[in-house]
C-alpha cells in the first residue's frame, strides 16, 4: 500500500470517508550551495526533493481543525480552534501548521474555516532537509486550495517564514519555504533572497547523481545556536554600516568586505560575516559553473563552503566533517559539503554515477568505524513544489 492509500485509509477510519477529500504534498529541500546566506541578503541554490510530507484533508463547516500525524502517532488527534491563536512552540509538528494559519490571519488573509487532516512524512525529521518548512507549506496549500484563497505560492512561502519567525521563535531565512513552495522538477532555484528574484536552473547532470548522506545526528535549530549566528551577522552589519552605506552583507563582494572588516568590533562576528559574504559569492560562481558544465569548479566551491561553515560559521559537527572529508578522498566525488542549518543533519555530494555504489560502501564503512553509527543515503531527485496532487 502506497503512502497516499495509507493516508486515505487512516483518514476514513478517524474522520469518515464522506465528502470532498483531497490529497496534498509539500517537499523538503536540499541546498546545493549558499548556506546561511538567506537571512543575510545573499543568494541560495536549493532544489525541492521528491521526499516530504503528504496529507489528505477535508473542509469543515466550522472553525475547528482536527489533525493526525501517522509519523507521530503518539501525539494522537490534535484539535484546536483557528481563532485566538497566540505564538507558542510546544515541540509538536502541529505548531508549525497552526503558525501558518496565524500568519495568514496576521497578514490579512482570513482563513474562512477549519479542516480535518491526516499527514505522513517520508522525509526524516531533524535531518537538515527542511521538514519544518515542508509542514508549513503543506498547511499553506491546504488553506489556499480548500478555501480558494487569493494568495500566490510566493505568498505561501513568505507566510511559512513569517510563522516560523514569529510564531515558533525560529529566526530562519526564506530559502526553505521558498524551495518547498516553488520547486520545479529537474531544476534548482537560484534565488536572490534580498529581492526574491529567482531563476530555475536545469540540473543537467549527465553522468552524475546528487547523493544526500544522513549523519543520523538530529538537530533542533530553534534550540541550537542558529539564532545566535543571525545576531552575530546583524551585529557585524551594524558595525560595517558605520563606515559604509550597505543594506545587507550580501551586498558586499569579497574585496569590499576585506576593506571594511576592521570596523567589526567582535572577532567572532568578523568570522560570521566573512562566511556570509564569501558564501554568497560562492553561490553566484557555482551557478555560473553549472551553466557552463564546469562541475570541477562547482565541486571545489562546495568544498570551500563546507570549510567555511566548519571554521568561520561553526555550524558543522564532527559527524558532518567526517562525511565531507572522507567524501573528498573518493574517486568520482566531484564535491561534498554539509547542507542545511547544521549541528547535525546531512551532507550533499555530487558523485559520478558509476562511483555511487563505491561512495556509499566506503562512506558507510568509515563512518561506522569513526562514530559507531550507521548513515543513510538518498539519491536526490529535484521535484515540483507544494500543492494538491489529487
Dihedral sign from CA coordinates of 86, 91, 94, 99:
positive
Name the pLDDT band for 350 (thresholds 50, 70, 90). Answer: very high
- Are the C-beta atoms of residues 214 and 124 closer than 8 Å to each other? yes
What are the backbone dihedrals phi and psi of residue 239, each rounded to the nearest 5 degrees, phi first? -65, -40
Cα–Cα dist 129/133, whole Å? 9
Q: Which of 85-94, 100-109, 183-192, 244-253 has the lowest mean pLDDT?
A: 85-94
Q: Can you tell me the distance from the alpha carbon of 41 to that of 175, in angstroms, rounded to the nearest whole number? A: 11
Q: Which residues are part of the catalytic machinery?
A: 176
> Whole-model pTM?
0.94
pLDDT score, position 204:
82
Q: What are phi and psi of 369, to 5 degrees?
A: -65, -40
What band does 135 get if pLDDT is binned at 50, 70 and 90? very high
Three cell numbers written together for 218 = 538530529
Name the phi and psi angles at 49, rounded to 5.
-105, 160
- 8-state DSSP, 262: G
Indicate the angle between helix axes 356-371 and 318-328, nearest 10 degrees: 140
**pLDDT tens figures, 274-320:** 999 999 999 999 999 999 999 999 999 999 999 999 999 999 999 99
Q: How sure is the predictor about 223, in pLDDT bands with cuts at 50, 70 and 90?
A: low
- 164, 96 contact by CB (below 8 A): yes
Chain centroid offset of residue 102 CA: 21
Per-residue pLDDT tens for 225-264?
888 999 999 999 999 999 999 999 999 999 999 999 999 9
Query: Is the predicted pLDDT of residue 327 greater than 60, yes or no?
Result: yes
Question: Is residue 214 within 8 Å of 51, Cβ to Cβ?
Answer: no
CB 215 within 8 A of CB 319: yes
Residue 378 has pLDDT above 50, yes or no: yes
CB 46, CB 340: distance < 8 Å = no
Question: Mean pLDDT of all residues in the chain?
Answer: 95
Asked whether 268 and 300 are in contact (CB, 8 A), the reply is: no
Burial of 188 (0-12, 13-18, 19+ CB in 10 A): buried
Confidence of residue 25 (pLDDT cuts 50, 70, 90): very high
> What domains sit in the chain, N to C, each tagged with a CATH number?
3-202+383-388 (3.30.230.10)
Distance CA 128, CA 316 (A): 12
Rounded CA-CA distance 360/365 in Å is 9
Reported confidence tier of residue 224, pLDDT bands at 50, 70, 90: low
- What is the structure's pLDDT at 127? 78
- CB under 8 Å to 25, separation ≥6 — which residues? 52, 53, 54, 55, 138, 386, 387, 389
The distance in angstroms from the start CA to the end CA of the chain is: 17
CA distance 380 to 387: 20
Amino acid at each position: 500500500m502506497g503512502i497516499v492509500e495509507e493516508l486515505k485509509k487512516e483518514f476514513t477510519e478517524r474522520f469518515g470517508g464522506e465528502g470532498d477529500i483531497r490529497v496534498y504534498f509539500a517537499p523538503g529541500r536540499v541546498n546545493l550551495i549558499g548556506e546561511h546566506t538567506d537571512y543575510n541578503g545573499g543568494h541560495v541554490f536549493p532544489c525541492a526533493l521528491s521526499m516530504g510530507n503528504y496529507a489528505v484533508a477535508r473542509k469543515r463547516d466550522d472553525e475547528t481543525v482536527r489533525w493526525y500525524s501517522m509519523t507521530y502517532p503518539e501525539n494522537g488527534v490534535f484539535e484546536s480552534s483557528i481563532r485566538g491563536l497566540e505564538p507558542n512552540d510546544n515541540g509538536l509538528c502541529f505548531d508549525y501548521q497552526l503558525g501558518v494559519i496565524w500568519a495568514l490571519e496576521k497578514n490579512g488573509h482570513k482563513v474562512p474555516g477549519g479542516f480535518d487532516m491526516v499527514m505522513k512524512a517520508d522525509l526524516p525529521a531533524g535531518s537538515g532537509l527542511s521538514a519544518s518548512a515542508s509542514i508549513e507549506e503543506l498547511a499553506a496549500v491546504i488553506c489556499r486550495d480548500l478555501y480558494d484563497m487569493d494568495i500566490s505560492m510566493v505568498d505561501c512561502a513568505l507566510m511559512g517564514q513569517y510563522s516560523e519567525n514569529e510564531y515558533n521563535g525560529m529566526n530562519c531565512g526564506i530559502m526553505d519555504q521558498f524551495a518547498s513552495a516553488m520547486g520545479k522538477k529537474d531544476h534548482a532555484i537560484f534565488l536572490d533572497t534580498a529581492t526574491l528574484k529567482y531563476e530555475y536552473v536545469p540540473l543537467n547532470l549527465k553522468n552524475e547523481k546528487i547523493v544526500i548522506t544522513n549523519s543520523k545526528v538530529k538537530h533542533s535549530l530553534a534550540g541550537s545556536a542558529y539564532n545566535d549566528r543571525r545576531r552575530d551577522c546583524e551585529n557585524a552589519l551594524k558595525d560595517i554600516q558605520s563606515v559604509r552605506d550597505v543594506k545587507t552583507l550580501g551586498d558586499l563582494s569579497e574585496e569590499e568586505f576585506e576593506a571594511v572588516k576592521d570596523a567589526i568590533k567582535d572577532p567572532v562576528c568578523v568570522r560570521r560575516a566573512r562566511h556570509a559574504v564569501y558564501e554568497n559569492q560562492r553561490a553566484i560562481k557555482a551557478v555560473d559553473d553549472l551553466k557552463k558544465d564546469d562541475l570541477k569548479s562547482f565541486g571545489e566551491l562546495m568544498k570551500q563552503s563546507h570549510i567555511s561553515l566548519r571554521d568561520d560559521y561553526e555550524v558543522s559537527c564532527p559527524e558532518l566533517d567526517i562525511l565531507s572529508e572522507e567524501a573528498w578522498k573518493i574517486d568520482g566525488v566531484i564535491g561534498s559539503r554539509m547542507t542545511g542549518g547544521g549541528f547535525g543533519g546531512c551532507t550533499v555530494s555530487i558523485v559520478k554515477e558509476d562511483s555511487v555504489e563505491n561512495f556509499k560502501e566506503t562512506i558507510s564503512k568509515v563512518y561506522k568505524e569513526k562514530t559507531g553509527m550507521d548513515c543513510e543515503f538518498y539519491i536526490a531527485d529535484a521535484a515540483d513544489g507544494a500543492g494538491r496532487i489529487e
